[in-house]
């Protein structure tokens, strides 16, 4: 059970820590103190539901088709190696998180709709959470623990951004910080890929 939990935690953490539209949106709302906690909660909920749908939907299909299971395993490993390589390349380049200075105060409804759009209209969310995290979770010995691990990573990350934005802002703006994060992402992705290949 714990192995499945840790796998879910590491895979999800590696995917959500990279700079992306969802992270940028949560951090921007947090810096402005504009409904940042509801936004973080919405992101965590969406991630958990999408991961669960991917894990349990794919689990049944994969269990009935060994060829599909092997394809998912090798495809997942290849994607993790590719994703880890991208993170490693980002770690060797300059990058920072740019924030908008727009000070217009929006309603909770408007902010939540924007958060939903950023989360659900981004094709990468389906590739990452439903397909990649889901297919990897479907192969775990305890898929439920894997889902909880992935949800834990999402919870920790988004609420860290939301609650610690004021303190984290100068730190997150430095390219060196994101290089370290991307290096950690690369290590996590390579480790899980190796585990998948070893289990084949």
pTM: 0.67
Q: Which pLDDT band, with edges at 50, 70 and 90, does 100 fall under?
A: very low
Q: Which two tokens stand for residue 1?
A: 């059970």
- Please report the pLDDT score of residue 189 as a whole number: 74
Q: Average pLDDT in the 38-48 region? A: 93
Span 1-38, pLDDT tens digits: 888 898 888 877 877 776 566 777 887 788 777 888 99
Q: Which pLDDT band, with edges at 50, 70 and 90, does 191 fall under?
A: confident
Q: Tell me: pLDDT of 169 over 50.
A: yes
- Please report the pLDDT score of residue 19 as a whole number: 57
Say which residue, 185 or 13, is predicted with more confidence. Answer: 13
- Please report the pLDDT score of residue 63 as a whole number: 64
Span 55-92, pLDDT tens digits: 888 667 766 778 877 777 787 778 778 878 887 887 88
Q: Which pLDDT band, with edges at 50, 70 and 90, does 98 fall under?
A: very low
Nearest to 61 by CA among 140, 135, 142: 135
Name every residue whose Cβ is closer than 8 Å to that of residue 51 and which is 6 or more positions away in sequence. 8, 12, 129, 130, 133, 134, 137, 147, 150, 151
Q: Determine the Cα–Cα distance for residues 6 and 48; give it in Å rounded to an integer.
A: 15
């Amino acid at each position: 059970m714990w192995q499945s939990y840790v796998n879910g935690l590491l895979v999800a953490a590696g995917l959500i820590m990279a700079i992306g539209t969802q992270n940028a949106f949560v951090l921007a709302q947090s810096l402005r103190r504009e409904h940042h906690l509801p936004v973080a909660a919405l992101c965590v909920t969406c991630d958990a539901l999408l991961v669960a749908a991917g894990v349990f939907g794919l689990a049944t299909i994969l269990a009935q088709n060994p060829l599909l299971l092997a394809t998912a395993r090798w495809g997942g490993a290849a994607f993790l190696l590719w994703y880890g390589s991208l993170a490693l390349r980002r770690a060797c380049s300059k990058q920072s998180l740019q924030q908008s200075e727009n000070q217009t105060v929006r309603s909770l409804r408007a902010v939540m709709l924007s958060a939903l759009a950023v989360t659900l209209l981004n094709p990468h969310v389906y590739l990452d959470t439903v397909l990649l995290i889901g297919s990897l979770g479907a192969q775990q010995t305890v898929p439920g623990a894997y889902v909880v691990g992935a949800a834990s990573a999402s919870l920790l990350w988004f609420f860290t951004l939301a609650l610690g934005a004021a303190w984290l802002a100068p730190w997150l703006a430095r390219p060196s910080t994101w290089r370290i994060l991307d290096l950690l992402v690369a290590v996590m992705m390579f480790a899980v890929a190796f585990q998948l290949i070893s289990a084949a």
